[in-house]
Structure 1
Amino acid sequence: MRASLERYFKFTEHQATWRMEMLAGLTTFITMAYIIFVNPAILSQTGMPLAAVTTSTCLCAAFGSILMGALANYPLALAPGMGLNAYFTYTVVKGMGVSWQTALGAVFLSGIIFLLLTFGGIRQRLVAAIPHQLHAAVAGGIGLFIAFIGLVNSGIIVRSAATTVTLGDLHQHAPQLAVFGILLIAILQAYKVKASMLIGVLGTLAVGILFHQVKYQPSTFNPLAIRATFMHLDIRGALKMNALEIIFVFLFVDLFDNIGTLVAVTERAGLISEDHTIPRLDKIFFADATATVVGSLAGTSTVTSYIESSAGVAAGGRTGVTAITTGILFLLAIFIAPVVGAIPDFATAPALILVGALMVAGAARIDWDDPCIAIPSFLTLITIPLTYSIATGLSFGLISFAVLELATGRGRRQHWMLYLLALIFLSRFIYLHAS
């Protein structure tokens, strides 16, 4: 049985071990466990019961991650997407006055459309249309992005009215502990310790507990509370109100954020083929779309791939066992959510920061001597963190790449879908400005 599983997940090909894959899955879970509490906090503002959304968040993250690992054999973990949950709450429900039941209906419809696009091969063609020269730039930009998130979450970087951002107060315990965690992980990585990320997070947490910086407030909730949201979506209402705009945004943001995450994680893990294609792409997209459909039925916003998966990849994860491990931990988190909530930002931030550093290393592969590649790559690198959006950074890079290809007479060497994609991205900026 064990040997069969190792053949199925291609352990030999990826030089994987059960210990390494499970540690990687645990590392991914720890870095994205915040979603168990952040997602319900956002969606509950629509009137959805907090306990129900907490349970549905864990269930959908478990289902999506396990499906991704078992079907596509990738170390990609899934959960309700940040940004999409904010759009669901603040724009659709609060801004447009749409009920949360109808909004869930719109999420369901977007998931069905995703499935149709996947079966038609359209999503796969969109990924193939993104120039492989930009893959390293997307990975590097997302590396800067998650490093910036870690620096902000830890208090090392704070807002500034004069300079936008500035150095935080290093006399505070949170940034001090985060700096300790960064140094601990860096030293472990220098000694090539495989579990450096996990040891760093748990070591920082232990020091935080020692100095009374971890606040633990036990609470209880009934997992059966999911009955308050399960199958409460209103598909007919979404169709009646002509929710095309809402569905389009769910589709658009999830599609291109997912592409960016997918390219970044597979690039970092060395899972992209020599011809610059991503193997089993149809299975990846099927798992993602199915998770969104199941999420809408359970009672949560769009489910998508998480960039925190790169933390597990950095810890050595290369197969679907990593994602399955993460999924199982999300399932267990339904019953131990109060314990998971004890992991503070200062403990997980160092992992995000140093995973970001590892991902930026790929920028060395960019041909900086060719302006037609260097400029789009730079725009991608810089705009992803500064706009807080993977989709926006990818938009800048792809549009500029397409313009330069046409302007230099090299347009015919690219697939026509590249230019269609550039027009779609351009229309997104026009739409955003107009709205």
Structure 2
Amino acid sequence: MLQRTFKLTEHGTSVRTELLAGFTTFLTMAYIVLVNPAILSTTGMPLAGVAAATCLAAGVGCLLMGFLANYPIALAPGMGLNAYFAFTVVGAMGIPWQTALGLVFVSGVLFLVLTVAGVRQLIVSAIPRALFAAIAAGIGLFIAFIGLRSAGLVVNNDATLVGLGDMHAPTTQLALLGLVILSVLTVLKVRGAIFIGIVATALLGWALGLATWTPQPYSLEEMTGTALQLDIPAALGVGGHGFGLALLEILFIFLFVDLFDNVGTLVAVSKKAGLMRPDGTIPRLNRILFADAGATIVGSLAGTSTVVSYIESASGVSAGGRTGLTAVVVGLLFLATLFVAPWAQAVPAAATAPALILVGAMMMAPLAEITWDDPVIAIPAFLTLITIPLTFSIANGLAFGVIAYALLKLASRQATKTDWLLLALAALFLARFVYMAFEA
């Protein structure tokens, strides 16, 4: 049955190899079960509920990817979009987390519609790959900045905006020690380095009395605290909640960042697995995008932010994974983790902060793909990279990059008729800034 379903022989693999690859991928991305709840709980969402939702969304997403698309790619709530959800949408804009979940649901439905219509593929072709790379790296800086703040290494400073925190603070020292542990494990290529490092740092925190937690009995109510709490009418602006164009902007970012994240991951993992066609196209691309959209819808219903493809899937490919059976194994492991998800609240912020910093560092790799000696590419890429963390907004970084690229293409007379969609997106972003100026 497995041979027929996943075409193992055709892909030159076996059940044993796929099982090993699935376990490898799961270990490298299991940290999301701890980190995602730590980020989203800052909005007031029940931490245990978010942990359970994270496991459920990842599990369903991986099963969809395995059975529907037959790819060794694992999915889970995305790093970067969870930070945007918590710190920008809910924190800065003041939008209730229930409404934000409603927007995640609507974006998932739109993913499905746009995939059927072929619009997602059009958008991918309109945006230069350099901006894809800059967005990924900018989100990495954003995540790392959040980790530095959570660790107490970076604090507010009236004179210089930010400054160095109190290095004598016990929790800051614990976070620094955790960063050392995670970094050493990563350098030694230990499988599941981030997850192991988080647990080791948490254990040290408990042993040294720097973290406290009173275990509570599990209850269905605790694990379903975020399930079906999304507010779809508010997300659609029904009832006059007063958020206006802000909702459209959030929806736009959910769509774009998820799209870029998935395309970048698909290209990288497909190349590594030898699954790309000779012309550079990805087989069964629509099925992959359907799996992504379905997982995002399930995630929003369960109570978590947008689900994306994970670059950690490359670790499973390195272990020999070539088919959807790898993804199915990852999905089943995430669903099994669901039963211990409430324990995520036992992990202190000082233990998850180093993971954010390290993940941010590893997201710098795409910068090597940018042609920095070409100003038409370099300037928009730099603006995207720097404005995402410094304005605490993925939307601003994306807007600056697209507008700058369109203007420089026009100024250098490199724009052609095929760039119409790029110019239209730049005009939309420019209108956004004009609107924000008048609102201010």
TM-score, normalising length from structure 1? 0.77
Q: Which whole-Å CA distance do the structure 1 matches of 2:279 and 2:129 have between them?
A: 9
- 1:220 and 2:221 matched: no
Gaps of 5+ in 2: none
Name which of structure 1's ranges 406-415 and 190-199 shifts more when overlaid on structure 2. 190-199
Corresponding letter in the other structure for 2:307: T
Corresponding residue for 2:120?
Answer: 123
Give the corresponding residue for 1:364.
368
Equivalent residues of 2:33, 2:341 under 8 A apart: no
Checking the alignment, whether the CA contact within 8 Å between 1:31 and 1:352 is kept in structure 2 is no
Distance in 2 (CA, whole Å) between partners of 1:142 and 1:369 is 23
**Alpha-carbon distance in 2 for matches of 1:378, 1:21:** 36
Which of 333-342 and 370-379 deviates more? Answer: 333-342
- Could you say which residue in structure 2 is the equivalent of 1:287? 291
The CA deviation at 1:240 is 5.5
The match for 2:143 is: 146
Alpha-carbon offset, residue 118 of structure 1? 1.6
Single out whichever of 102-111 and 406-415 deviates more from structure 2: 102-111
Q: Which residue of 2 aligns with 1:256?
A: 256
1:378 aligns with 2:382: yes
Q: 1:302 to 1:71 in 2, by over 3 A?
A: same
Correspondence 1:135 to 2:129: no
User: What pairs with 1:55-134 in structure 2 (closer than 5 Å)?
Assistant: 56=53, 58-68=55-65, 70-72=67-69, 73=71, 74-78=73-77, 81-84=82-85, 87=89, 108-134=105-131
CA distance in 1, matches of 2:230, 2:354: 39
Mapped contact 1:107–1:247 kept (Cα < 8 A):
no
Matches within 5 A, 1:344-355: 344-355=348-359
Which residue is equivalent to 2:411?
A: 407
Partners in 1 of 2:162 and 2:316 — Cα distance? Answer: 33
Gaps of 5+ in 1: none
- Residue 174 in 1 paired to residue 177 in 2? no
For the residue of structure 2 that corresponds to 1:305, the secondary structure is strand
Task: State the match for 1:26 in structure 2.
Answer: 27
User: What is the root-mean-square deviation of aligned Cα atoms in Å?
Assistant: 4.2
- After superposition, the C-alpha distances for 1:35-65 in whole angstroms (9 at most, x for unaligned) are 3365466365xxxx88877755653454335
Q: How many angstroms does 1:408 deviate by?
A: 0.5
Alpha-carbon contact 1:217-1:338 (below 8 Å) kept: no
**Structure 2 residue 158 is matched with structure 1 residue 161:** yes
Mean Cα deviation higher: 330-339 or 389-398: 330-339
TM-score, structure 2 as length reference: 0.77
Do the aligned residues in 1 keep the contact of 2:53 with 2:226 (CA within 8 Å)? Answer: no
Q: Is the counterpart of residue 36 in structure 1 residue 40 in structure 2?
A: no
C-alpha displacement at 1:162, in angstroms? 1.7
Shift of the 42–259 alpha-carbon distance from structure 1 to 2, 3 Å rule, reads same
Contact 1:78–1:304 (Cα < 8 Å) also in 2: yes
Q: 1:374 to 1:57 in 2, by over 3 A?
A: closer
Superimposed CA distance per residue, residues 291-320 of structure 1 (whole angstroms, 9 cap, x where no aligned partner): 343345x364653338xx45x358666766
